Amino acid sequence: MPNVTPPLVVALAYDGLCTFEFGVAVEVFGLPRPELGPGWYRFAVAAVEPGPLRAVGGLRVEVDGGLERIDEADIVIVPGWRGAREPVPAPLTAALRRADARGARILSICSGAFVLAAAGLLNGRRATTHWRYAALLGELYPNIRVQPDVLYVDEGSILTSAGSAAGIDLCLHLVRRDFGAEAANSVARRLVVQPHREGGQAQFIETPVPTAREGARLGPLLDRLRDTLTEEHTLASMAATAGMSLRTFLRRFQALTGMTPGEWLLTERLSRARDLLEGSALPVEEIATRAGFGSAATLRHHFRQRLGLSPVRYRARFHRGVSVPATG
């Protein structure tokens, strides 16, 4: 994008700033990334109120601009809020409504959804927040279609994420929308996090961090499955490769990944198909084969079920600059 002004991302800072959520915005959008070219995001911080501002953990924050920075933003990030029932200043809600009216994208992390709700930007829309606050969000704002059991919700120009770490998933999702899978993977590698998790995935899993023993036994299996997505994998064959009984394998796989083996394989195959749709000119039939779906019809079925659109529509939205066929 050498001839286009890079998008300006503006993150909010406020008294009581949620340090982790703010750090996520800085890490994903605020660091220079020359390896990704000259079109990478510009970044600024907008103070919601006069400073210096206190941040969680005893820090003080001083910024160069106030709410006027929102009027310049292409993307606005609300990194949490100081409390679900804490009032949101009228100048802030007005600035967010102006940004929405002119087409800026607005993203909230964790309790930041309450700021968007106070501005009226979530009325009639799907949205999520941390699972601890989801019921309260629906109670305070009954016009919102709260989804308590997902990582993030993309409603086009309005995006919301669940708990703090889900903000990373949503920010990487936005990078993927804007710059493609390779850029999102590059950012994820620097963060040392999984490059992509579906927004519909559960907010928490039984064992978020595997024990060393289970990681040693199941880690190589997961790597092998990713390398052989085109092959048929049965529960019995996976359990045998892991050296476990079927019952033990199912229990430990679920605890490690938060999914059944079938769900995990489907997610990996969809991820492979998405990468191929975004970065190649291969016909959909060939992509279905390479991703392990066997047929284009099966690929279309799972795309519509998981993503709400066909492979062709997904490619039209996310493909990066290679001539592709119009059918499939």
Q: Give percent of the chain above pLDDT 90.
A: 54
* CATH for the 263-318 domain, from 3.40.50.720, 1.10.10.60, 2.30.30.100, 2.30.110.20: 1.10.10.60
From the list 125, 121, 126, 148, the residue with the least C-alpha distance to 136 is: 148
| 300 has a pLDDT exceeding 90 | yes
In angstroms, the CA 328 to CA 320 distance is: 18
Q: What is the mean pLDDT of residues 58-62?
A: 87
Which one of the listed residues 25, 110, 188, 273 is annotated catalytic? 110
- pLDDT per residue as tens digits for the range 302-314: 988 887 788 988 8
pTM of the model as a whole: 0.67
- pLDDT per residue as tens digits for the range 3-16: 578 999 999 999 99
From the list 57, 67, 54, the residue with the least C-alpha distance to 15 is: 54
Q: Tell me how far apart the terminal alpha carbons of the chain are, to the nearest angstrom.
A: 29
| Boundaries of every domain in the chain | 8-191, 212-258, 263-318
| 79 has a pLDDT exceeding 90 | yes
**Fold of the 8-191 domain:** Rossmann fold (3.40.50)
Q: Is 110 a catalytic residue?
A: yes
Of 102-106, 211-215, 307-311, where does mean pLDDT reach its minimum?
211-215
From the list 168, 156, 174, the residue with the least C-alpha distance to 192 is: 168
Q: What is the mean pLDDT of residues 121-140?
A: 94
